[in-house]
A and B are shown apart, each in its own frame.
Chain A
Amino acid sequence: MNEKTGTKEIIGLLARLAVGGLFVYSGAIKALAPAEEFAYAIESYRVLNAQLSLYAAYVTPWVELWAGMLLAAGVFTRANALFIGAMLVFFELLLGQAWLRGLPITSCGCFGSSGSNSIAAEFAQNLVFLALTWAAWKFPSRWSADAVVEAK
């Protein structure tokens, strides 16, 4: 293994753990709180009505938890990175439209009822995580379930 490949692999691993860990945390913290709480946050984006917001609040935390877990472990890494990237883009669109419309969003709902940053800060943070997701997709690492199964 040359030095360049090793560095890329480490970047890929760290990016996977960062993005996967973030999704696991974000999903678990919301799955441990009442769905209604997250549903109120979703409603404040004024994209879905109350009923659909509640359905979304039931499903989203689990999807985040599972996708984060699979990415962190490196199971179907590239497909998972693509899926998480798509979710982040979707979150960016939600935040962006709220930002443009000047909606009074006090909690973005990103991490349950715990305090959230401003919409602009959350938007910027998501961009960073999008970049990390790209790194996880681009640089496969040998420290992943994919690589372990492939080697057998």
Chain B
Amino acid sequence: MIDQKRSRLAAIGAALVFASTIAVLLARQFNLGPERPAPDFRAFGPADAPVQIHEYTDFACPACRGAAGLVEEMLKVYGPGLRVHFKHYPLLNIHPWSLHAAAYADCAGAQGKFKEYAALLFEGQQHWAEAKEEPKQFAEYAGRLGLDLDAMRACANDPETLKTIKLEIAEADMKGVNATPTFFINGKRAVGSGQLLDQARKFDSVLRKASNK
């Protein structure tokens, strides 16, 4: 009799464990976890904007270069209705210098020039993305923008800088990101510029209302 009761309790326990595991895994899949904001220098638009886009990008990815222009255009058009959080997702297996590029861009951001440095990285993508040795362009772009190169180098090799990027990679992996650019528009996934535009259209009235205020 006692064994029977224990078995019943064990069955209830197993059902609860199973149900809670499935619930958490589904919540992960539907992107219901907390959204980590990007550092301030990588977030553009008002903090209280009704439409929030989290963009996972790789500086060495050609499609990301195209999307960067589109996002810039959207920020201009929708102004106060939109906030874009730029997140790093370097594809380490195919782009050997993406992680370094992301680190340098963040270090430029620490000196107040993230956007400008990111634009140069995208613009010169074909020159550094496939380099055999550490690309000289990283230093060259810093020079062009008048940044402190020694500080940039130290910062780009600082474990704290790399930690931030690796956390963003882990966060993206958890959300099932496996291509760049991937966007989450108020939580809705879009891969590539075409899907971004499609998703953005669904928020068109909200965006226009906010930008007309």
Q: Which of B5, B12, B173 has the most CB of A within 10 A?
A: B12
Judging by beta carbons under 8 Å apart, are A40 and B163 in contact? yes
- From residue B202, how far is it (CB to closest CB) to chain A in Å? 25
- Chain B interface mostly: helix
Q: Is the interface on chain B under 10, 10 to 19, 20 to 34, or 35 or more residues?
A: 20 to 34
- From residue B159, how far is it (CB to closest CB) to chain A in Å? 11
Chain B residues, Cβ within 8 Å of A66 = 16-17, 20-21
Q: Nearest CB to that of A112 among chain B residues?
A: B34
Chain A residues, Cβ within 8 Å of B163 = 40
Judging by beta carbons under 8 Å apart, are B24 and A31 in contact? yes
Point out the residue from B13, B21, B170 that lies within 8 Å of A34, measured CB to CB.
B170
Judging by beta carbons under 8 Å apart, are B8 and A149 in contact? yes
Chain A residues, Cβ within 8 Å of B12 = 73, 75, 145, 149
- From residue A55, how far is it (CB to closest CB) to chain B in Å? 15
The count of residues in chain A whose C-beta lies closer than 8 Å to any C-beta of chain B is: 27
Judging by beta carbons under 8 Å apart, are A113 and B13 in contact? no
Judging by beta carbons under 8 Å apart, are A69 and B20 in contact? yes
Q: Is A17 an interface residue (CB 8 A)?
A: no
Judging by beta carbons under 8 Å apart, are B9 and A33 in contact? no
Chain A residues, Cβ within 8 Å of B9 = 75-76, 145-146, 149
Interchain residue pairs with CB less than 8 A apart (14) = A29-B34, A32-B34, A33-B33, A65-B24, A66-B17, A69-B16, A70-B13, A70-B17, A75-B12, A112-B34, A113-B34, A145-B9, A150-B5, A152-B8
Binding site for B on A (CB under 8 A): 24, 28-29, 31-37, 40, 62, 65-66, 69-70, 73, 75-76, 112-114, 145-146, 149-150, 152
Binding site for A on B (CB under 8 A): 5, 8-9, 12-13, 16-17, 20-21, 24, 27-28, 32-34, 36, 163, 166-167, 170-171, 173-174
